[in-house]
Amino acid sequence: MSIANDSVFSHIVHAPEDPILGVTVAYNKDQSPVKLNLGVGAYRTEEGKPLVLNVVRKAERLLVDDNSRVKEYLPITGLADFNKLSAKLIFGANSPAVSENRVVTVQCLSGTGSLKVGASFLGRHYHQKIIYIPLPTWGNHPKVFTIAGLSVKSYRYYNPSTRGLDFQGLLEDLGNAPNGSIVLLHACAHNPTGVDPTPHQWDQIRQLMRAKALLPFFDSAYQGFASGSLDADADAVRKFVADGGECLAAQSYAKNMGLYGERVGALSIVCKSADVAPRVESQLKLVIRPMYSSPPIHGASIVATILKNEEMYREWTVELKAMADRIIRMRQQLFYALKDKGTPGDWSHIVKQIGMFTFTGLNSKQVEFMAKEYHIYMTSDGRISMAGLSSKTVPHLTEAIHAAVSNVA
């Protein structure tokens, strides 16, 4: 027998591609010159190119020219400045929780890594192992939480017939959750639906959760992308912190600073009192050390450079707003193009939904049809990344949607 046939791995079956990142794999294989990737949530310019923010380039030049900088390991918890500034960014410059030293922040590997560290910490140290996630939600959520040993359940969130929030369903499901359960909340710009609760609904959610001691775990991957304002987009999180209760927050700088591949994010745990915080931090270090020892230095240094310099911070907010505004323009262009073409159906949700994505309502057969016939790629649930669209590609997408809803049931 030849050695080659004897692999100890020969029983291993081929795993399916990731439902989101696999869309890019399929797109890359397509040879068509008109192909369009609306799968992954990654910002593109009007020319369809990835964007590095000017302020990020500026920060990088400063870092490169600073000869005092070295490549030593960061502490397990990451860059101290970055952590402080990240907490301020999400909880607000004047957050009492921050000034009372009740907040622990650790630098992690982007949003996913922050969720992962938070999930592992809860799996080890929190008394209730049930986490409720919205239905639907980002496809990686159930995987991250299950691996951490949490039991994943869902709460109703989206109503396909109204294309809006199923608020009654949400209240009922959280109302029936066992006391102490963890609840995953999208801080803003819910992915994939683009539907957020109103401020009044957030208040009701908060009151219900506090009454039942449900623990909020915020996923904040789009701060600044919903409204164009960093403060407005952190409003829900800040209200939960303002009531004095506890919560977790996972922040990502992938989208709002365009640092996708730098993998920079932060996990914060807001505690009730300053004596608990250092103990929580000490245990977070025990979670992180065997996972990856310490986080990378470059991306966090970029963020810290920008956040601590008033002028650069302002520049960032202008560039961020420009990205958010371009997405809103794409919503309007696509909506009017479908309307003008007389495409069957009500498409007003395209302009009503918030953030990077439109949850189109197209079904998986229609999605398949559009990839095959029009070389347009999106996730099979019909989510399109509006950030991947430009004025030049709106007509092609319009034609594809029109053909899909006219020909495929």
- Known active-site residue 255: yes
According to the binding rule CB under 6 A, does residue 40 interact with ligand KET? yes
We find the least distance from the C-beta atom of residue 141 to ligand KET, in angstroms, to be 7
What the block records as the tokens of 91 is 């909880």
Q: At 87, is the secondary structure helix, strand, or coil?
A: helix
**Cis bond upstream, residue 344 (ω within 30):** no
What is the rounded CA–CA span in Å between residue 166 and residue 157? 5
Among 78, 134, 258, 265, binds ligand KET (CB under 6 A): 265
What is the rounded CA–CA span in Å between residue 115 and residue 250? 6
Catalytic residue among 58, 138, 347, 381: 138
The residue range among 107-115, 174-182, 227-235, 364-372 that interacts with ligand KET, by the rule CB under 6 A, is 107-115
Write out the DSSP string of 90-132.
HH-TT-HHHHTT-EEEEEEEHHHHHHHHHHHHHHHH-S--EEE
We find the least distance from the C-beta atom of residue 98 to ligand KET, in angstroms, to be 22
Are 402 and 341 in contact by the 8 Å Cβ rule? The answer is: yes
**Minimum CB distance to ligand KET smaller for 78 or for 265:** 265
Among 107, 110, 181, 393, binds ligand KET (CB under 6 A): 110
Are 114 and 253 in contact by the 8 Å Cβ rule? The answer is: no
Distance between alpha carbon 265 and the CA centroid of its chain, in Å? 11
The residue range among 106-114, 121-129, 173-181, 334-342 that interacts with ligand KET, by the rule CB under 6 A, is 106-114
- Known active-site residue 49: no
**Minimum CB distance to ligand KET smaller for 254 or for 271:** 254
What is the rounded CA–CA span in Å between residue 185 and residue 170? 11
According to the binding rule CB under 6 A, does residue 112 interact with ligand KET? yes
Catalytic residue among 116, 173, 196, 255: 255
Q: Tell me, residue by residue from 195 to 234, as one string, x for binding to ligand KET by CB under 6 A and - for no binding.
A: ------------------------x-x-------------
**Minimum CB distance to ligand KET smaller for 181 or for 191:** 191
* R_g of the chain computed on alpha carbons: 22
According to the binding rule CB under 6 A, does residue 237 interact with ligand KET? no
According to the binding rule CB under 6 A, does residue 252 interact with ligand KET? yes
**Minimum CB distance to ligand KET smaller for 41 or for 118:** 41
The residue range among 4-12, 105-113, 273-281, 364-372 that interacts with ligand KET, by the rule CB under 6 A, is 105-113
What is the rounded CA–CA span in Å between residue 399 and residue 386? 16
Among 138, 157, 218, 240, binds ligand KET (CB under 6 A): 138
What is the rounded CA–CA span in Å between residue 20 and residue 42? 11
Total number of residues that touch ligand KET (CB under 6 A): 14
**Minimum CB distance to ligand KET smaller for 191 or for 353:** 191
**Minimum CB distance to ligand KET smaller for 92 or for 299:** 299
The residue range among 2-10, 109-117, 336-344, 358-366 that interacts with ligand KET, by the rule CB under 6 A, is 109-117
We find the least distance from the C-beta atom of residue 260 to ligand KET, in angstroms, to be 6
What is the rounded CA–CA span in Å between residue 15 and residue 229? 40
**Minimum CB distance to ligand KET smaller for 20 or for 131:** 20
According to the binding rule CB under 6 A, does residue 111 interact with ligand KET? yes
Task: Output 43-47 pairs: Cβ under 8 A, ≥24 positions apart.
Answer: 43/255, 43/258, 43/323, 43/356, 43/387, 44/387, 44/388, 44/389, 44/390, 45/390, 46/326, 46/390, 46/391, 46/392, 47/390
What the block records as the tokens of 183 is 């609840």
Are 246 and 270 in contact by the 8 Å Cβ rule? The answer is: yes
Contacts with ligand KET, residue ranges (CB under 6 A): 20, 40-41, 110-112, 138, 186, 191, 219, 221, 252, 254, 265
Point out the residues that are catalytic: 138, 219, 255
